[in-house]
Amino acid sequence: MSRVHDPDADSCDCPILAEELVAALYDRDAAQRSYQGLREWTDGVITAVHAHPDSKKIMKAAAGRAGRR
């Protein structure tokens, strides 16, 4: 991009492969942390539903709604 503004610029400011790898690993780790948080929340909800006296009825209704999407 620096050469767009100054055609005589000597340096390239493009990220090197190692910098791109660090950024990609950071993004991957952030996505994994987010997924893990959602997974823990979902597991908690499922555990609470299974502890409910009407758990079979609730799960059957939820499965029916999910099948319609």
What's the pLDDT tens digit per position in 2-55? 667 777 777 777 788 999 999 999 999 999 999 999 999 999 999 999 999 999
User: Which pTM was predicted?
Assistant: 0.57
In this structure, are residues 17 and 23 in contact, taking their beta carbons and an 8 Å threshold?
no
Output DSSP code: residue 52. S
Which residue range forms the structural domain that includes residue 10? 2-67
Question: Above 70 in pLDDT, residue 1?
Answer: no
Structure-token pair, residue 4: 């767009």
Report CA-CA distances (Å) from 31 to 18, 24, 27, 42, 64. Answer: 20, 11, 6, 16, 30
The CA radius of gyration of the chain, in Å to the nearest whole number, is 25
Number of domains the chain is built from? 1
What is the C-alpha to C-alpha distance for residues 48 and 42, in angstroms, rounded to an integer? 10
